[in-house]
Amino acid sequence: MSKKKSSLANSTSRTRGAKKSRPAAADGSAALPTKLAKLDRQLMKLANERAAATAELAKLQQESGTADAPVIAAGTAWNPQLARIVEGNTGPLSNQAVAAMFRELLSGCRQLANPVRVAFLGPLHSYSHLAALEYFGSEAELVPVASIAAVFAEVTNRQVAYGIVPLENSTDGRIADTLDMFARVRVRISGEVPLRIHHNLLGIGKRTDVETICSKPQALSQCRAWLAVNMPEVTIVETSSTTAAAERASADRRVAAVASRQAAANYGLSVLAENIEDNKENITRFAVIGQESARRTGSDKTSLLFQVAHEPGALADVMAVFKRNRLNLTWIESFPLPGRTQEYLFFVEMQGHERDLRVRRALTALEKKTQLLEVLGAYPIATPVG
């Protein structure tokens, strides 16, 4: 009996101690890491070949004098080449993923062929910075400056090729500082970036810890109803930028900032409340400024600045020119002429490119109806991003 028990115990011990052999993968998964590594190498090789070909094409066009104005935008909303690439996507990657991947690739290729330096209203991680990234891609040399006037100065002094400035917000309306600079400085608008603005309440503590909320005036204004209902007891403090607010919040749990998720990631903040903007279609439209208009695409708009005589019917006569030439106005703003009283400038956007026949006819007629007429630029109509 004892021998049987001993034999059984030894048998059980051998069974427990035996290592089970794994069957070879029948589905081929063992080979997939090697396949993926090979594909990565092929992608890298093709990306660099494309970059080299882009640089070579730019060089040949420059030498032969056949180069058009370069397409400097990297996003699908502005770059027809990237839009065509995305249209050809058959999956399983989403169009958004394909656009993000190729946006950075085209940005890098463009930087090799036509290096781009861009000024924006800083600091880093501000909404102007996000708009610049959407339009130019991360490979462009993005230069933060302290004011809208400084962006214009960098462009006019040719310290940068382009600048990006806020033009209007769907909640607060026009950006007066930008329109004032267009009246003072001669630059050309070559693009637009309608950026969806999502404000978040950021901090390092809990929402119940917050005693002070800070941000730039525009951001606070765009969230004033939410703040009044949800944080009625806190002290509101204005800062120079949303980034400055985020930096302040990162040092004190009693302080919260109204800023973007990118600012939260950069300063190690938690999102205490998301999307607190009162207008859920809150969009700030940015203008890309430089020395020339963009090429004609067939879906464009043209921006004008004009002044009319201070007399009855003068503005009506100008409006009649647009109607007669079947040109749809998409935006019109009036603002005081710098240094003068009772005199105004008008900022107008209309559908069509300045090289279109109807637009050219309208411009000829407008020269006779205005005291001052300035074409600020023509550029592709863009859809909201972000």
3-state secondary structure 282-327: CEEEEEEEECCCCCCCCCEEEEEEEECCCCCCHHHHHHHHHHHCCC
Residue 217 has pLDDT above 50, yes or no: yes
Residue 342 has pLDDT above 80, yes or no: no
Q: How confident is the model at residue 270 (pLDDT cuts 50, 70, 90)?
A: very high
Residue 78: the pLDDT is 52
Do both 86 and 226 map to the same domain?
no
Give tens-digit pLDDT for 42-90.
998 998 888 888 778 777 777 776 555 444 554 444 566 777 888 888 8
Give tens-digit pLDDT for 105-121.
877 777 776 778 999 99
Q: Is residue 15 part of a domain?
A: no
The answer to whether 257 touches 214, Cβ cutoff 8 Å, is: yes
Q: How many CA atoms lie within 13 A of 376 on its CB side?
A: 25
Residue 75: the pLDDT is 46
Residue 28: the pLDDT is 66
Do both 216 and 315 map to the same domain?
no
Q: Among the three residues 233, 254, 281, which one is the final residue of a domain in this structure?
A: 281
Q: Which CATH number fits the domain that encloses residue 262? A: 3.40.190.10
Do both 246 and 148 map to the same domain?
no
| Residues found in the chain | 386
Residue 26: the pLDDT is 55
The answer to whether 94 touches 132, Cβ cutoff 8 Å, is: no
User: Could you write out the DSSP letters of every residue in 211-265?
Assistant: -EEEE-HHHHHHTHHHHHHH-TTSEEEE-S-HHHHHHHHTT-TTEEEEE-HHHHH
Give the other-Cβ count within 10 Å of 14's Cβ: 9
Do both 138 and 275 map to the same domain?
no
User: Residue 173, by phi and psi: left (phi above 0), alpha (psi -120 to 50) or beta?
Assistant: left
Residue 59: the pLDDT is 75
Q: Which domain holds residue 171?
A: 68-196+282-292
Residue 335: the pLDDT is 86
Q: Is residue 26 part of a domain?
A: no
Do both 269 and 318 map to the same domain?
no
Q: Is residue 97 part of a domain?
A: yes
Mode of pairing for the β-strands spanning 329-336 and 344-351? antiparallel
Q: How confident is the model at residue 99 (pLDDT cuts 50, 70, 90)?
A: confident
Q: Among the three residues 267, 292, 317, which one is the final residue of a domain in this structure?
A: 292
Residue type, 240: S
Residue 27 has pLDDT above 90, yes or no: no
Do both 250 and 139 map to the same domain?
no
Residue 77: the pLDDT is 46
Residue 334 has pLDDT above 80, yes or no: yes
Cis ω for the linkage preceding 123 (within 30 of 0) = yes
The model's pTM: 0.75
Do both 248 and 317 map to the same domain?
no
Q: Which CATH number fits the domain that encloses residue 302? A: 3.30.70.260
Q: Is residue 58 part of a domain?
A: no
Q: Is residue 45 part of a domain?
A: no
Q: Rounded mean pLDDT of 291-319?
A: 92
Terminal Cα distance for the chain, rounded? 80
Quote the distance between the C-alpha of residue 222 and its chain's center: 19
Residue 340: the pLDDT is 72
Question: What total of structural domains would you count in the chain?
Answer: 3
Residue 160: the pLDDT is 94
Residue 378: the pLDDT is 95
User: Residue 326, by phi and psi: left (phi above 0), alpha (psi -120 to 50) or beta?
Assistant: left
Do both 162 and 211 map to the same domain?
no
Residue 268 has pLDDT above 80, yes or no: yes
% residues pLDDT > 70 (the chain)? 88
Q: Using CA atoms, how far apart are residues 296 and 294, in angstroms rounded to an integer? A: 6
Q: Among the three residues 247, 281, 315, which one is the final residue of a domain in this structure?
A: 281
Do both 82 and 217 map to the same domain?
no
H-helix segments, 65-159: 80-87, 95-113, 127-136, 148-156
Give tens-digit pLDDT for 122-181.
888 889 999 998 888 888 889 999 999 999 999 999 999 999 999 999 988 899 999 999
Do both 224 and 327 map to the same domain?
no
Q: Rounded mean pLDDT of 1-30?
A: 53
Do both 353 and 228 map to the same domain?
no
Residue 20: the pLDDT is 52
Residue 1 has pLDDT above 70, yes or no: no
The answer to whether 225 touches 180, Cβ cutoff 8 Å, is: no
Q: Is residue 227 part of a domain?
A: yes
Summary mean pLDDT of the chain: 86
Q: Is residue 349 part of a domain?
A: yes
3-state SS, residue 89: coil
Residue 284 has pLDDT above 90, yes or no: yes
Q: Is residue 207 part of a domain?
A: yes
Do both 238 and 313 map to the same domain?
no
Residue 7 has pLDDT above 70, yes or no: no
